[in-house]
Chains A and B, each alone.
Chain A
Amino acid sequence: AQSVTQLDSQVPVFEEAPVELRCNYSSSVSVYLFWYVQYPNQGLQLLLKYLSGSTLVESINGFEAEFNKSQTSFHLRKPSVHISDTAEYFCAVRAPGAGSYQLTFGKGTKLSVIP
């Protein structure tokens, strides 16, 4: 079984400042890792994912996350946030394999960008 811990429930940050949203996971097997974003009054959208290969993955809107196996982390970063980044961010993990179904979510981190 897997579990996900998002260490911060709320993160306020000023516009154009850098931000890091932390995610740690626990698993007895190798995992796939995901970050989803939920804008106000909308569903979840995939932001980025790590399946294999390069440990640094990037999204089209400037976010990046780095898979760190030794620290079991997948922190999300952006060097300069914009007002439009205000949303709730969910880290999720699942085991690889055709029979795997369980996508385990963290409790979410609300990012508030302050003008």
Chain B
Amino acid sequence: DADVTQTPRNRITKTGKRIMLECSQTKGHDRMYWYRQDPGLGLRLIYYSFDVKDINKGEISDGYSVSRQAQAKFSLSLESAIPNQTALYFCATSANQETQYFGPGTRLLVL
């Protein structure tokens, strides 16, 4: 079984809809992250969490919110989706300053 899982893997939604992307990990890591990937721009950090009670904004947090429900679960929400949020979203985990391990990604299309 994969160490970092993301659901759904693909999602199509309409402008203005609220959607949630979920991430679960079995690695026992304290740190979790949400990134978005856009063609030609690499990955950019949206939010990160060092533990259940610690959540921080990343480089591009506007229009997004997160919830750390447990050590193993970190959800990303788009409160009112807009077309420029169409992207590939990745969840990642790490233990302290060690290597980050990525999930398979969620491909989101906002119409």
Contact = CB atoms under 8 A, between A and B. Distances in A.
Interface of A: 9, 32, 34, 36, 42-46, 49, 90, 94, 96-98, 100-103, 105-108
Nearest to A102: B45
Interface in B58-105: 90, 92, 96-97, 99-105
Chief secondary structure at chain B's binding surface: strand
Chief secondary structure at chain A's binding surface: loop
A105 B43 contact: yes
B31 to A, nearest CB: 7
Nearest to B91: A43
A90 B42 contact: yes
Given A46-B101, A94-B97, A105-B44, 6 more contacts: A44-B90, A46-B99, A97-B97, A101-B31, A107-B42, A108-B40
